[in-house]
């Protein structure tokens, strides 16, 4: 599933084609994805101007001139693909429709934005812009890791006394929004913290030091266009490249990249997810 850097990369790719532009026509080609689409979705989108595209955790939010906000979740295999952008940001002509093109936005500027989702684990919804943060998918989310609310004091307090592994704690969206398996593994490696260490047993100094490390990892991933594993593509169809910079994720059995370390990357399974780490560097 795309994590925060991938979703932010897609949002940035959509901005020149959609933000400030009118949806001349919206085609909704099926009644549902993971959940049913909102009632009269095509009619509620057609003719509306996209005032702003923003991101909350792993969700893209489009504030519309109608006073509603479109929520988009990419799910496991969802892709937002742009073609025909008259601004010259994208070189692709409009492709022929494909089987899994479930929602298509025909923009008044000539761009076409297609939501393609073979596995149909993605989702879209419409809600009033005022109070959008109260939406059931957003209400319980913790602070954004790149925002000011995600501070050293916040993370230290959130981890204090917790008996769960630190890996599980950082995946808890109530503690910090948008982190997923890949970037937690990478952050814990840089922080030299074992993924199975109990969160409550990590000192305040080490817990606080995780904050700038998490921000650095996410920023580097966004700058690289995210990580392309399986289905992920940027909005212009290009791959992300951060996977080439992984220190531990997916590198089981490979040499540790820490200078002077002679150990190899190991893998354990935590709550059904693979955790990658160096047993020498991470304690």
Residue-wise pLDDT for 246-263, tens only, equals: 899 999 999 999 999 999
Residue-wise pLDDT for 153-170, tens only, equals: 999 999 999 999 999 999
Rounded CA gap, 163 and 4, in Å? 26
Residue-wise pLDDT for 199-241, tens only, equals: 999 999 999 999 999 999 999 988 887 654 444 344 554 544 4
Name residues whose C-beta falls within 8 Å of residue 187's C-beta, 6 or more positions apart in sequence: 170, 179, 210, 213, 214, 217
pLDDT at 233: 46
Give the chain's largest Cα–Cα span.
62
Same domain, 186 and 119: no
The percentage of the chain sitting over the pLDDT mark of 90, rounded to a whole number, equals 79
For residue 268, give the CATH number of its domain.
1.10.8.50
In angstroms, the first-to-last Cα distance of the chain is 28
Same domain, 111 and 164: no
Same domain, 273 and 206: yes
Of 75, 107, 134, which marks where a domain is finished?
A: 134
Same domain, 31 and 130: yes
For residue 94, give the CATH number of its domain.
3.20.190.10
Rounded CA gap, 100 and 103, in Å? 9
Residue-wise pLDDT for 30-40, tens only, equals: 999 999 999 99
Of 134, 167, 198, which marks where a domain is finished?
A: 134
CA-nearest of 210, 192, 191 to 153 is 210
The backbone torsions φ and ψ at residue 194, rounded to the nearest 5 degrees and listed phi first, read -65, 135
Instruction: Look at residue 6 and give its three-state secondary structure.
Output: helix
Same domain, 260 and 174: yes
Between CA 4 and CA 218, with CA 6 as vertex, the angle to 5 degrees is 50
Residue-wise pLDDT for 55-99, tens only, equals: 999 999 999 999 999 999 999 889 898 888 665 555 556 777 788
Active site residue 2: yes
pLDDT at 95: 76
The backbone torsions φ and ψ at residue 69, rounded to the nearest 5 degrees and listed phi first, read -120, 130
Virtual CA dihedral for 221, 225, 231, 236, nearest 10 degrees?
170
Residue 145 belongs to a domain? no
Residue 139 belongs to a domain? no
Same domain, 173 and 230: yes
Same domain, 38 and 68: yes
Same domain, 123 and 42: yes
Same domain, 123 and 165: no
Instruction: Look at residue 250 and give its three-state secondary structure.
Output: coil
Rounded CA gap, 183 and 166, in Å? 13
Active site residue 273: yes
Same domain, 114 and 210: no
Same domain, 179 and 226: yes
- Structural domains counted in the chain: 2
Average pLDDT over residues 90-110: 84
The backbone torsions φ and ψ at residue 58, rounded to the nearest 5 degrees and listed phi first, read -105, 20
Active site residue 19: no
Residue 180 belongs to a domain? yes
pLDDT at 230: 44
Range of the domain at 182: 152-277
Look over the chain and give the mean of its residue pLDDT values, rounded to a whole number.
91
Residue 80 belongs to a domain? yes
Same domain, 119 and 198: no
pLDDT at 228: 41
CA-nearest of 50, 46, 74, 199 to 129 is 50
pLDDT at 83: 87
Of 103, 134, 165, which marks where a domain is finished?
A: 134
Residue 102 belongs to a domain? yes
Rounded CA gap, 190 and 272, in Å? 23
> Which of the residues 3, 6, 8, 186 is marked catalytic?
3
pLDDT at 217: 95
The enclosing H or E element of 43 equals helix 41-45
Average pLDDT over residues 121-143: 97
pLDDT at 214: 98
CB 232 within 8 A of CB 241: no
> Which of the residues 55, 56, 58, 167 is marked catalytic?
58
Residue 101 belongs to a domain? yes
pLDDT at 91: 52
Tokens 């923003």 correspond to: 54
Residue-wise pLDDT for 261-270, tens only, equals: 999 999 999 9
Residue 9 belongs to a domain? yes
Active site residue 5: no
Residue 177 belongs to a domain? yes
């Amino acid at each position: 599933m795309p994590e925060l850097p991938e979703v932010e990369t897609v949002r940035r790719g959509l901005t020149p084609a959609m933000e400030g532009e009118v949806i001349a026509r919206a085609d909704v080609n099926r009644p549902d994805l993971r959940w049913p689409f909102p009632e009269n979705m095509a009619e509620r989108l057609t003719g509306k101007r996209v005032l702003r595209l923003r991101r909350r955790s792993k969700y893209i939010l489009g504030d519309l001139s109608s006073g509603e906000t479109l929520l988009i979740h990419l799910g496991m295999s969802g892709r937002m693909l742009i073609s025909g952008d008259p601004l010259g940001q994208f070189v692709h002509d409009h492709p022929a429709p494909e089987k899994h093109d479930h929602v298509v936005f025909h923009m008044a500027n000539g761009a076409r934005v297609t939501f393609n989702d073979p596995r149909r684990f993605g989702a879209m919804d419409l809600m009033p812009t005022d109070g959008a943060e109260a939406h059931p998918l957003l209400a319980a989310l913790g602070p954004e890791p790149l925002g000011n609310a995600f501070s050293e004091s916040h993370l230290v307090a959130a981890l204090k006394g917790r008996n769960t592994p630190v890996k599980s704690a950082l995946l808890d969206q109530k503690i910090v929004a948008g982190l997923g398996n890949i970037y937690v593994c990478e952050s814990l490696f840089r922080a030299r913290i074992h993924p199975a260490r109990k969160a409550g047993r990590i000192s305040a100094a080490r817990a606080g030091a995780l904050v700038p490390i998490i921000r650095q990892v996410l920023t580097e991933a966004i700058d690289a266009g995210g990580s392309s594993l399986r289905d992920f593509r940027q909005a212009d169809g290009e791959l992300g490249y951060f996977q080439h910079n992984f220190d531990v994720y997916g590198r089981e059995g490979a040499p540790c990249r820490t200078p002077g370390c002679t150990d190899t990357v190991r893998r354990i399974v935590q709550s059904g997810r693979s955790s990658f780490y160096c047993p020498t560097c991470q304690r």
